[in-house]
Structure 1
Amino acid sequence: MTGVAALTLPGAVFETRLREVLRSRVEFIELIGEDLVAAGGKRARPAVTFLAAQALGAGPQDPRWDAVTDLGVCVELLHSASLLHDDLIDDADTRRGQPAAFRRFGNVVSVMSGDFMLSRLLTLLAAMPQGPALTRAFGEAASQICEGEVLQFQVAAYADYRLEHYLDVIHGKTAALVELAASAPALLLGAPGAQRGALATFGREYGMAFQMRDDLLDLTGDEATLGKPVGGDLREGKATLPVLHLLGGPHGAEVREVLERRAAHPGDVGRIRELAWSQGAAERTREEIRRRAELAVQALEALPPSGAREALADLARHEIDRTR
């Protein structure tokens, strides 16, 4: 990222605050919270929040910066709560290299710990300037996350593979939270509506590009680089963008059969992977990722030039050629 060394990203202060917010008198909830802090990760969504706030002129010396930090914590809590629920829904074995929480503590503890995180973020939002507006924004994003998750299962159950469904799913599951992470600082800081709209557009388009890239890598990526097998979406009956392109082509009937049997036959994943390259579906998906990334960068032109604005733009540009 250009100029990133001079910018403030989630670090030790953020991690300390996250640990404070997750404290509980119930040991199992505390342990799941400790796992979240210890696992670390890129904190990509709070990083967007921090960068957006700085692009709007705030910084660590600003008296509102503690509220910006708490806003980033709220974004991470919403993301983490959704992951606790997702792992149970997907019957996942691991999360960030560790056994999934429900594998260690059971379904009830995992779900209720996710709900605990949601309750903690509501408490934080209530104490912030612009609390009602921020609570509304977080509530809308949470609703979209739920709708995206359920729609994904509905599409697979009905084998109703349509582009509009796919776009709704990835907006709900991924882009809605990135849009929130980018635009919530504008609400907190009282930025003009045009700047809030620009950051919302950035977050939405960046989030869409991010998920499209993940979906393309799941089909065409290098397993050694990814550190996991490819074809997971096919095995779950999910028609991602490259697969949708194939469904509309001369091999559509064959691709639909693979989806409906969830790539259960040996060679199914390899065959769809081969078709994605030979029929141009992978390249068409790459072009759509590029288009979305460029829309995200263009949206930032409504903000004054700064290192933070350029760092946000770099995040979107990275999706064009990301390999893992």
Structure 2
Amino acid sequence: MNLPALPLDRFEVRLREVLRSRVEFIELIGEDLAAAGGKRVRPSLVYLALRALGAHQHPQEHDLAVAVELLHSASLLHDDLLDNADTRRGQVTAFRRFGNVVSVMSGDYMLSKVLVLLSAMPQCLTRAFGETAAAICEGEVLQFQVAAYSEYSDANYLEIIRGKTGVLIELAASAPALLLGSPPEQLQALRTYGLEYGLAFQMQDDLLDLASDEATLGKPIGGDLREGKATFPVLRLLDSRDAAEVREILERRAAQAGDVARVRVLAAEHDAFAATRAEIERRSRLAVQALSVLPPSPARERLEALATLEAQRVK
């Protein structure tokens, strides 16, 4: 049996409905978000998890998918400002177009809409969204703290990417179980799946930032090094005989010509890229294994495939 097409068209309609505002600048930012599209990974996870739990249609599924996407989008609006980013998905970032105040307040507007959507759902979802939002903030601040203090470690890195990506994908995968009141073992399975898949997802992003090329990635490589971020392959180099040189490059934010190229050479020499790919595959396997408590279904197979194929993503 083939899995029916996910109702992403209805999701897009509902997203636009929720983002409507009588204030033109907020309306324009909302329209940019809706028009930008993207892979819609998180809304897709909401629908897939519902189907895997046996709910082939739920009256609040679109609102739940929109709430997850809005939490993600609000964090991106704030991230772009913090990172001083010029573009997002090939478009000029909101704060470059409209200024800092408009961008930040539009992100806050999205968060307020999340609360409105959650008000009609089980209370446990409000807590889950609140805890996720707090973890996102902690991860973002920790990332700056680690770079400022040069506190590079595997533990800090995992905590950063948990907040940056893991907790939101965990929420997308597990929120349907909270909506349905599913058994605790199914809720935990989807939480584990989402977190491990999210960690693998971010590790792959971090790997591509250093191991890929600009033509494939669509942006300059080495961005993390220039921000003083020690990602998984770089952490492997900090445990190598060339640790002192790599630490110097990190601490000067790869400011000298050839810094990024040098780290790429060292990463290849020390098999840091291979070690990162192995860790991504391990996390993906953990995600797939967690789903074994759910009954077999096309939706579960699709969830498993998303995690399994993560290591093959090229951008």
TM-score by length of 1: 0.96
Task: Provide the residue aligned with 1:203 in structure 2.
Answer: 194
1:228 Cα offset (Å): 1.3
Give, as a single letter, the amino acid of the residue that structure 2 aligns with 1:101. A
Tell me the amino acid that sits aligned with residue 242 of structure 1: P
Distance in 2 of aligned mates of 1:7 and 1:96: 28
> Which of residues 275, 281, 285 is equivalent to 2:276?
285
- 2:179 counterpart residue number: 188
Shift of 1:78: 0.2
SS in 1 for 2:311: coil
Out of 21, 30, 35, the residue aligned to residue 33 of structure 1 is 30
Contact 1:8 1:51 survives alignment (8 Å): no
Aligned to 1:274: 265
Moved segments of 4+, more than 6 Å: none
Paired letter, 1:105: F
Where does residue 16 of structure 1 map in the other structure?
Answer: 13
Which of the numbers 43, 52, 57 marks the counterpart of 2:54?
Answer: 57
Q: Which amino acid aligns with 1:308?
A: A
What residue in structure 1 maps to residue 97 of structure 2? 104
Cα deviation per residue 1:282-321 (whole Å; 9 max; x = unaligned)? 1111111010000000000010000000000011011122
Choose from 40, 43, 68 the match for 1:75.
68
Using the TM superposition, give the Cα deviation of residue 8 of structure 1 relative to its aligned residue in structure 2, in angstroms: 3.7
| Gapped regions of structure 1 (runs ≥ 5) | none
- Residue from 216, 233, 238 that aligns with 1:242: 233
The match for 1:48 is 45
In 1, the alpha carbon distance for the partners of 2:7 and 2:93 equals 24
Instruction: Tell me the SS of whatever aligns to 1:72.
Output: helix
SS in 2 for 1:25: coil
**Cα shift at 1:59:** 1.2
Conserved? CA contact 2:51–2:299, under 8 Å: yes
Aligned letter for 2:75?
A: S
Distance 1:9 1:70 in 2: 14
CA RMSD, Structure 1 to Structure 2 (Å):
1.0
Tell me how far apart the structure 2 counterparts of residues 222 and 123 of structure 1 sit (CA, whole Å).
42
Residue 110 (structure 2) pairs with residue 117 (structure 1): yes
SS of the aligned residue for 1:66 comes to coil
**Mapped contact 1:7–1:308 kept (Cα < 8 A):** no
What are the within-5 Å matches in structure 2 for residues 78-157 of structure 1? 78-128=71-121, 130=122, 132-157=123-148
SS at match of 1:265: coil
Contact 2:3 2:299 in 1 (8 A): no
Unmatched tracts of structure 2, length 5 or more: none
Return the alpha-carbon distance in structure 1 between the equivalents of residues 184 and 166 of structure 2.
20
- Matches of 1:58 and 1:24 in 2, distance apart? 32
- For residue 296 of structure 1, the aligned residue among 268, 271, 287 is 287
Aligned mates of 1:42, 1:28 — CA distance in 2: 25
1:215 equivalent to 2:206? Answer yes
Read off the aligned partner of 1:310 and give its amino acid letter: E
Does structure 2 conserve the Cα–Cα contact (< 8 Å) formed by 1:75 and 1:181?
yes
Q: Is the 8 A contact 1:179 1:200 kept in 2?
A: yes
Among residues 63, 66, 70, which one is paired with 2:59 in the alignment?
A: 66
TM-score normalised by L of structure 2: 0.98
Cα distance in 1 between the residues matched to 2:218 and 2:78: 23
Q: Is the 8 A contact 1:289 1:320 kept in 2?
A: yes
The answer as to whether partners of 2:8 and 2:44 remain within 8 angstroms in 1 is no
- The count of corresponding residues between Structure 1 and Structure 2 is 315
The Cα of 1:10 is off from its aligned counterpart by 4.4
Quick one: distance in 1 between partners of 2:274 and 2:287?
20
The amino acid across from 1:316 in the alignment is A
Secondary structure at the aligned position of 1:154 is classed as: helix
Q: Which residue of 2 aligns with 1:260?
A: 251
3-state SS in 2 of match to 1:109: helix
Q: In structure 1, how many angstroms separate the alpha carbons of the residues matched to 2:143 and 2:13? A: 36
